[in-house]
Amino acid sequence: MWSPAKVVFTVTALLAIIVFLVFFPQKRESSLREAPLLDVYFVHKDHHQVGCAQCHHNYVDGTGRQFGCYQCHKEDESVNLLVEEQFHGLCRECHRERKAAGEESGPIRQCGGCHKPDTKP
């Protein structure tokens, strides 16, 4: 038989899990839609061996917009929830493939390897 303390603990834990499962996805979606992208250290000259169209698909599809990735990937509702997945997938996967091939690669696991540190007070 369960003691009253175990019942209270179990109910509290279940409620916490339910709250997390209900509210976390909403908060995550809101953050992906509204929060600015984190600054990334990216040096084009270090990526000269990669064809431009591998990252800049707008050169391939003919849209050729004058500004960077940010406008579409953050402002277009059809893709802005995928922004983190898209950029991490593109960059990190390339780095992983190069490392697995024994080639020099960029950072793979540490956020600070690509993202600038937060300079806010």
DSSP secondary structure letters along 51-85: -HHHH-GGGTSS---SS-HHHHHHH-TTTGGGHHH
Residues 85, 91, 96, 97, CA torsion sign: positive
Helix (H, G, I), strand (E, B) or coil at 29: helix
Can you tell me the mean pLDDT for 72-80? Answer: 76
Looking at residues 42-62, what average pLDDT do you find? 80
- Please provide the average confidence, as pLDDT, over all residues in the chain: 80
User: Global pTM?
Assistant: 0.58
Residue ranges with strand state E in the chain: none
pLDDT band at 102 (very low <50, low <70, confident <90, very high): very high
Whether the per-residue pLDDT at 101 is higher than 90: the answer is yes
46-50, 93-97, 108-112 — which one is most confidently predicted on average?
93-97
Higher pLDDT: 96 or 38? It is: 96
